[in-house]
């Protein structure tokens, strides 16, 4: 089925299920094409689709205008970062559910989104996310506990790479989590992050001081503070190919961005002494970034059988 056929196909079924999907793209044309094709095939849902392009150099905007005329494209003249770009759409989106999606999400079934949102609505969850699968089909570990001073200090020292079985990491990365059961959680991955309209009206926009990283953790904190639940929904699954855009940034620069976001998060939720200690560890962390393995990525560890 080509894109024009998809666009001309009328949705049937749940006409009262209205969502806005928001994708932020930076030099991710090919994976974005796959994601949008899957989105446009979703049934039983009234779906508005927005793409905010952060000044890509790979002709993403031209591709969108030629191949996906139904998709509303906002073309930035600079890389505004993840939070600010999402907020550009959150200010104008009308959906009852506001779904922040990474461009490297792939849908394999036309009823994935409607099934997921019906479950979120049934559970009255302010924030929800589905099961994420790695490219090879294994389950991606997408749920974490709240960050603590201890866990983040030890991550800055790269101890999670060499000692992943320490209790502090097993707790933070939820090594005991059952990904086959829907349940309430502290936080879900920002790769697929669905916010109910009621939650958004109360909690508001993403904190734009987070360029990337920790913005979804912060939002989960704020939602729970306002008595909205965060829920992992196992009944539906999408493939998350993982870090396709940001992996193009040099590792040291990625580490610097991570540290800046962590410092901001710490200032919001940790005490001044803890912020001071983390700030001391951050230059050491940059040095360690040169010598530690680059292939280890705790956020996408595969679930052991």
Give the domain CATH number at 102.
3.90.550.10
Q: Looking at residue 290, what is its pLDDT?
A: 73
45 and 163 assigned to the same domain: no
7 and 24 assigned to the same domain: yes
User: Per the domain annotation, does 283 fall within a domain?
Assistant: yes
User: Per the domain annotation, does 120 fall within a domain?
Assistant: yes
User: Per the domain annotation, does 113 fall within a domain?
Assistant: yes
pLDDT values of the chain reduced to their tens digit, one per residue, 305 residues:
333 333 333 333 444 899 999 999 999 999 999 999 999 999 999 999 999 999 999 999 999 999 999 999 999 999 999 999 999 999 999 999 999 999 999 999 999 999 999 999 999 999 999 999 999 999 999 999 999 999 999 999 999 999 999 999 999 999 999 999 999 999 999 999 999 999 999 999 999 999 989 999 999 999 999 999 999 999 999 999 975 555 555 677 888 999 999 999 999 999 999 999 999 999 999 888 777 655 444 444 455 54
Q: Looking at residue 51, what is its pLDDT?
A: 98
pLDDT tens digits, 242-263: 755 555 556 778 889 999 999 9
Decide the pairing of beta strands 192-196 and 127-133.
antiparallel
163 and 73 assigned to the same domain: no
At which of 198, 222, 241 does a domain end?
A: 241
At which of 192, 223, 241 does a domain end?
A: 241
193 and 291 assigned to the same domain: no
Contacts of 46 (CB under 8 A, 6+ apart): 11, 15, 17, 18, 19
- Cβ-based neighbour number of residue 286 at 10 Å: 14
195 and 292 assigned to the same domain: no
Q: What residue numbers bound the domain in which 88 lies? A: 3-141+180-241
109 and 194 assigned to the same domain: yes
21 and 88 assigned to the same domain: yes
* Angle 211-213-218 from CA coordinates, rounded to 5°: 95
User: Per the domain annotation, does 290 fall within a domain?
Assistant: yes
**How many structural domains comprise the chain?**
2
> What's the whole-model pTM score?
0.89
Q: Looking at residue 178, what is its pLDDT?
A: 97
Q: Looking at residue 294, what is its pLDDT?
A: 54
134 and 75 assigned to the same domain: yes
pLDDT tens digits, 64-118: 999 999 999 999 999 999 999 999 999 999 999 999 999 999 999 999 999 999 9
200 and 149 assigned to the same domain: no
Decide the pairing of beta strands 18-25 and 97-101.
parallel
User: Per the domain annotation, does 64 fall within a domain?
Assistant: yes
29 and 161 assigned to the same domain: no
CA 260 to each of CA 5, 140, 157, 251: distance values in angstroms, whole numbers, following the listed order: 45, 26, 15, 14
124 and 200 assigned to the same domain: yes
Q: Looking at residue 135, what is its pLDDT?
A: 93
85 and 43 assigned to the same domain: yes
Q: What is the Cα–Cα distance from 5 to 268, expressed in whole angstroms?
A: 48
User: Per the domain annotation, does 305 fall within a domain?
Assistant: no
Q: Looking at residue 250, what is its pLDDT?
A: 60
């Amino acid at each position: 089925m080509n894109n024009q056929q998809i666009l001309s196909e009328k949705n049937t079924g749940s006409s009262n299920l209205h969502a806005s999907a928001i994708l932020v793209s930076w030099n991710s044309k090919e994976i974005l094409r796959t994601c949008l094709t899957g989105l446009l095939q979703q049934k039983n849902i009234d779906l508005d689709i927005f793409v905010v392009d952060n000044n890509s150099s790979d002709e993403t905007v031209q591709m969108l205008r030629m191949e996906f005329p139904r998709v509303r494209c906002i073309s930035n003249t600079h890389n505004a970062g993840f939070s600010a770009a999402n907020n550009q759409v959150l200010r104008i989106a009308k959906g009852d559910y506001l779904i922040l999606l990474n461009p490297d999400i792939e849908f394999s079934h036309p009823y994935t989104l409607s099934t997921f949102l019906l479950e979120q609505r049934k559970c009255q969850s302010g924030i929800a996310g589905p099961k994420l699968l790695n490219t090879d089909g294994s389950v991606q570990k997408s749920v974490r506990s709240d960050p603590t001073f201890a866990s983040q200090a030890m991550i800055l020292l790269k101890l999670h790479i060499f000692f992943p079985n320490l209790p502090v990491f097993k707790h933070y990365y939820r090594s005991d989590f059952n990904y086959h059961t829907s349940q309430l959680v502290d936080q879900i991955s920002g790769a697929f992050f669905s916010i109910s309209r009621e939650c958004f009206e109360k909690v508001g926009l993403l904190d734009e001081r987070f360029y990337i990283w920790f913005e979804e953790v912060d939002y989960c904190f704020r939602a729970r503070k306002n008595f909205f639940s965060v829920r992992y929904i196992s009944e539906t699954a999408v493939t998350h190919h993982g870090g396709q855009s940001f992996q193009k940034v040099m590792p040291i620069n990625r580490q610097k961005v991570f540290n800046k976001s962590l410092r901001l998060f710490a200032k919001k939720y940790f005490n001044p002494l803890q912020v001071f200690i983390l700030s001391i560890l951050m230059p050491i962390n940059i040095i360690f970034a040169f010598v530690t393995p680059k292939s280890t990525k705790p956020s996408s560890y595969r679930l052991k059988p």
